[in-house]
Amino acid sequence: MQEIVSKKDYFDPKDLWILDEDDLISLEIGAGILGTGGGGNPYIGKLRARQLLREGYTLSILPHQKIDDEALCVSVGGIGAPLVGIERLREGREGLRCVRALEAHFGISIDAIACEEIGGSNAMEPLVVAALTGVPVLDCDGMGRAFPEMQMTTYSIYGHSSTPSALCDVHGNVVLFHHAVSELWHERMARACVVAQGGASTLASSPMTGAFIKKFAIPDSYSQAIGLGQVVRAAQKNHEDPIAAICRKEKGRKLFTGKIVDLKRHLRGGFVRGEVQLAGIDSHGGETGSILIQNENLVFHHDGEMECCVPDLILVLDVDSGEAITTEMLRYGQRVAVVALPCHPLLRSPEALEVVGPKGFGLDGIVYAPLKEA
């Protein structure tokens, strides 16, 4: 097995949490749920991470408060439409090439990988890149869920400039976004490049210090996701209600149980966009729900009234298994539970709501009201 060491004594290897295949199964389920419909298909991501485990690589997680203030941490994630990510597999070393390009550009050696978004496949991508690089992944992320655009991380919101960044695709192309006049411009240019590259690539942002990460990352994301997966699996095994188990663990609320009666979904500008219509299962069609989608579930309306919106988490779960149904896997007739979880307080500040609240998605008519905890 690969040994993960700190070249500069920036962390203590004794603090590492070494993942096994069982953890990956739980992470697949938990990251899928936290993905709020997006973040890339976690099943594909799990297969890639598991393959590395079987080849002798080490998937290791470090509590983010245990990293040295001066450590250089690079956040990495897949960028593109989940729909493309599931139909065209990665080459496998895109993320490593991103890290190497940044290291060469800055003349540095990085100490840890940070997670950009814990939702979906992007929970797996940092593990893969870190294993190939020989460094740990920090137990935190920049979203506490998944969001469709890059400026929507707490890293960007609280002042980190994500450029210079490196973008690599399945073909071997490497683009450095050397300077962007804003985080939004970085997103725009990178997104355009990703579309030209076929719709799914990997991006690593400029290094952050350990000190910054400790202050502004969403904490304990991997612990949360793996724990969530464990709770769902335990409920499945014991024939208990997994939806209730999720709500209990995450202080969430079940908003709706119904079936999908209409589904509009298309790929535009590199995003999966659309809307899902739901009819209540036990209400003889009287109760309705709808979900607006941009890669992730953005807004839930219940009988025409907005009940939950970004940045709070809107989960679409299989009503029996409690596992997430990602937006590209939605199908007519599916029976689903819609569950809402409160987002992390770092996403509810006024500066965060500008970026990840309804306004950040161009939904000017919707006013954010924090989800009431159950």
Q: Which residue has the tokens 């979203």?
A: 143
Considering the complex, state which of residue 185 and residue 212 has its C-beta at the smaller distance from a copy of itself.
185
Work out whether 185 is an interface residue with a copy of itself (CB under 8 A).
Answer: yes
The span of 24-32, 137-145, 188-196, 337-345 binding a copy of itself (CB under 8 A) equals: 188-196
Work out whether 101 is an interface residue with a copy of itself (CB under 8 A).
Answer: yes
Q: How far apart are CA 306 and CA 311, in angstroms?
A: 14
310-343 burial: b if 16+ Cβ within 10 Å, else e: bbbbbbbbbbeebbbbbbbbbeeebebbbbbbbb
Work out whether 177 is an interface residue with a copy of itself (CB under 8 A).
Answer: yes
Task: Map the footprint of a copy of itself across residues 105-144, applying CB under 8 A.
Answer: 105
Work out whether 285 is an interface residue with a copy of itself (CB under 8 A).
Answer: no
Sort 344 into a burial class: Cβ within 10 Å, 0-12 / 13-18 / 19+. Answer: buried
Rounded (10°) angle between helices 94-106 and 124-133: 60
Identify the bridge partners of residue 314 per DSSP, sorted by sequence position. Answer: 340
Smallest gap, in angstroms, from Cβ of residue 4 to a copy of itself? 28
Considering the complex, state which of residue 173 and residue 209 has its C-beta at the smaller distance from a copy of itself.
173
Smallest gap, in angstroms, from Cβ of residue 304 to a copy of itself? 36
Question: Which of 174, 211, 234, 369 touches a copy of itself by CB under 8 A?
Answer: 174
Smallest gap, in angstroms, from Cβ of residue 260 to a copy of itself? 34
Question: Which of 64, 191, 273, 344 touches a copy of itself by CB under 8 A?
Answer: 191
Question: Which of 65, 161, 173, 223 touches a copy of itself by CB under 8 A?
Answer: 173
Q: How far apart are CA 140 and CA 41, in angstroms?
A: 20
- Binding residues (CB under 8 A) for a copy of itself: these are 101, 105, 166, 171-181, 185, 188-189, 191-193, 195-197
